[in-house]
């Protein structure tokens, strides 16, 4: 017997999103989180990118986040703005929203879905066998689960206990990050070498302030102090503005690492446990949430014995290249922020290049997550990409694609008269929707593409197949991804 089907180590954005995905799929999960409450340092991560907003829209909860934040053009590369307002999406913008609010909204959603959270407790180790994982907790208890997912950050206990290597680059630069009050009014804005000063309340302005400051030395011992913040302010601005009353102080470096594997048997990794990098570009939280959405439906199908264990291998195959690209982008942004003549010259060249529409769209598509392309079998350009959120005239009236994905079930969407009768997919696994949509499709970066007669949409919103629904490859694709084939008994 297992206590839970899935144990999730870590209740940050990645762990909470995974918990929600599993709950929607009807899988029993538990979150183990060391913090006593969901109150996190409010101004750490600063926003949600366009594709993350789409993911939340696919589950019907995006309005909660939009109501709490500020939609704006937040996409950029090394401080070079990248406008995505012309991208074909319902969310051609990012959302300025501090991590504290993001986590609070995710935690409220997870609570509504009935997922238990064990607080003030950490996963300290585990032992796995052919049938499950015995997960040891810091309070002396243990829980039994079929699978354990480490969403426990860059210093992941789960990753280390699993023996998964974490290769990458050591730190060359260090920054202080803090939320503080100041007696004097500071200089607001970003600095060339990275970081800067800004109000925590973006609308009201004034204090408290979020400060990010480059340090002179790497690897200073102990926890960072207010005195070190003061010294860094004086070095950068010539004054510390009367810095006082810190809510929190931390530091980060440009160390960049990625797990060699995202899986060791019944143990998997997601989010910062699988990849760490400096926060330039704001991609860490977003990448972790999207990891969870890719993994959740696959893990649910394996738990339910609808798909073989091998389906989980596609998680690493799809998400590892995405994170590797994120690491490359962040390393490049750190290099471009180096304040010297040579890097200024390189930055100037890049600014000129990104003034070209094709270059802007290419880089912004990658950074926003809208142009993520998984390497799947298929000739149509939409295969492997996120499905556009088309307006549809369905059997029950007007709808749109993301509304169809609220229950996280795969969909066979038939948009044109097929060349013959459509074999119905298994009703308990794949939903058949016949609808009408006029005109072509537009994909970010690629532009207009010919609309296929039908598409098979995975629960994460990516297209697994496109073509005529009488194509003999369709039942094989359904069986490969969802463990069933058209015409099988429900």
Q: What is the pLDDT at residue 111?
A: 97
What's the pLDDT at 490?
35
What's the pLDDT at 155? Answer: 93
* Inter-residue contact 399 to 410 (CB < 8 Å): no
Contact between 201 and 171 (Cβ < 8 Å): no
Q: What is the mean pLDDT of residues 356-384?
A: 96
pLDDT, tens digit, for every residue of 14-33? Answer: 999 999 999 999 999 999 99
pLDDT at 42 over 90: no
Name the DSSP class of 88. Answer: S
Q: Is the pLDDT of residue 40 over 70?
A: no
Q: CATH number of the domain at 391-482, please?
A: 3.40.30.120
Average pLDDT over residues 221-240: 93
pLDDT digit string, tens, across residues 394-435? 888 899 999 999 999 999 999 977 655 666 666 568 999 999
Q: Determine the longest span between alpha carbons in the chain, in angstroms.
A: 75
Per-residue pLDDT at 485: 44
Question: Cα(452)–Cα(459) distance, rounded to whole angstroms?
Answer: 19
Cα–Cα distances in Å, from 322 out to 91, 284, 287, 366? 21, 12, 8, 9
What number is the average pLDDT over the span 226-238? 93
Give the architecture (CATH level 2) of 174-253. Answer: 2-Layer Sandwich (3.30)
Contact between residue 213 and residue 236 where contact means Cβ atoms under 8 Å apart: yes
Mean pLDDT of the residues in the chain: 91
What residues pair up with 385 in beta bridges, in sequence order?
373
Q: Spell out the residues 6+ positions from residue 174 whose beta carbon is closer than 8 angstroms to its own.
A: 214, 215, 217, 218, 219, 220, 251, 252, 253, 254
Domain ranges for the chain? 4-168+257-368, 174-253, 391-482
Q: How far is CA 471 from the centre of its chain?
A: 34
Q: What is the pTM of this model?
A: 0.92
Residue 132 has pLDDT above 90, yes or no: yes
Report, in angstroms and rounded to the nearest whole number, the Rg of the chain calculated over CA atoms.
23
pLDDT at 427: 59
Are 209 and 186 in contact, with CB atoms under 8 Å apart?
yes
Tell me the per-residue pLDDT of 285-330, one tens digit each, with 9 for 90 and over. 999 999 999 999 999 999 999 999 999 999 999 999 999 999 999 9
Burial class (CB in 10 A: 0-12, 13-18, 19+), 88: middle
Q: Would you place residue 202 in the very low, low, confident or very high pLDDT band (cuts 50, 70, 90)?
A: confident
pLDDT above 90 (res 488)? no
The secondary structure element, H or E, covering residue 467 is strand 463-467
| Cross-strand pairs, 393 | 398, 436
Rounded mean pLDDT, 74-84: 92
Read off the tokens for 187: 């200089």
- Which has more pLDDT, 60 or 47? 60
Q: Which fold has domain 4-168+257-368?
A: FAD/NAD(P)-binding domain (3.50.50)
pLDDT at 44 (0 to 100): 57
Question: Which tokens go with 241?
Answer: 């503005």
Position 193 confidence tier, pLDDT thresholds 50, 70, 90: low
Reported as a pLDDT band with limits 50, 70 and 90, residue 252 is confident
| pLDDT on residue 41 | 53
Sequential DSSP letters for 354-414: HTSHHHHHHHHHHHHTTT-B---S-SSTTTTBBPP--EEEETTEEEEHHHHTTT---EEEE
């Amino acid at each position: 017997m297992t206590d839970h089907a899935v144990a999730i180590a870590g209740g940050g954005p990645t762990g909470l999103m995974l918990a929600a995905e599993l709950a929607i799929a009807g899988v029993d999960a538990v979150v183990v989180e060391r913090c006593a409450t969901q109150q996190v340092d409010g101004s750490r991560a600063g926003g949600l990118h366009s594709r993350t907003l789409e993911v939340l829209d696919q589950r019907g909860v995006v309005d909660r986040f939009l109501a709490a934040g500020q939609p704006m053009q937040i996409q950029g590369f090394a401080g070079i703005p990248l406008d995505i307002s012309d991208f074909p999406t319902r969310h051609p913008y990012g959302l300025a929203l501090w991590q504290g609010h993001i986590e609070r909204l995710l935690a409220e959603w997870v609570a509504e879905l009935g997922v238990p959270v064990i607080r003030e407790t950490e996963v300290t180790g585990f032992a796995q066998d052919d049938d499950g994982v015995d997960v040891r907790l810091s309070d002396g208890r243990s829980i039994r689960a079929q699978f354990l997912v480490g969403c426990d950050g860059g210093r992941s206990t789960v990753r280390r206990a699993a023996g998964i290597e974490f290769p990458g680059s050591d730190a060359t630069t260090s920054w202080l990050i803090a939320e503080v009050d100041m007696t004097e009014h500071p200089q607001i804005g970003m600095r060339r070498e990275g970081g800067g000063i800004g109000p925590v309340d973006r609308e009201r302005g004034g204090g408290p302030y979020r400060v990010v400051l480059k340090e002179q030395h790497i690897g200073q011992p102990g926890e960072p102090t207010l005195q070190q913040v003061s010294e860094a302010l004086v070095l950068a601005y010539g004054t510390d503005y009367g810095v006082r009353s810190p809510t929190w102080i931390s530091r980060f470096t440009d160390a960049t690492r990625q797990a060699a594997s995202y899986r060791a048997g019944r143990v998997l990794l997601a989010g910062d446990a699988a990849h760490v990098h400096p926060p330039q570009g704001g991609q860490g939280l977003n990448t972790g949430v999207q990891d969870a959405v890719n993994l959740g439906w696959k893990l649910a199908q394996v738990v339910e014995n609808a798909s073989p264990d091998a389906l989980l291998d596609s998680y690493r195959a799809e998400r590892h290249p995405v994170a590797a690209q994120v690491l490359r982008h962040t390393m490049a942004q750190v290099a471009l922020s180096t304040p010297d003549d040579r890097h200024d010259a390189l930055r100037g060249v890049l600014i000129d290049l990104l003034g070209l529409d094709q270059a802007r769209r290419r880089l912004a598509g990658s950074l926003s997550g809208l142009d993520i392309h998984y390497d799947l079998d298929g000739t149509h350009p939409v295969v492997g990409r996120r499905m556009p959120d088309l307006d549809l005239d369905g059997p029950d009236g007007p709808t749109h694609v993301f509304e169809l994905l609220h229950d996280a079930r795969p969909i066979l969407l038939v948009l044109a008269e097929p060349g013959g009768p459509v074999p119905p997919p298994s009703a308990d696994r794949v939903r058949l929707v016949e609808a009408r949509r006029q005109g072509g499709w537009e994909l970010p970066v690629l532009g207009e593409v010919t609309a296929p007669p039908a598409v098979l949409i995975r629960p994460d919103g990516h297209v697994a197949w496109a073509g005529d629904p009488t194509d003999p490859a369709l039942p094989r694709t359904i069986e490969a991804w969802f463990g069933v084939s058209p015409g099988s008994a429900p």
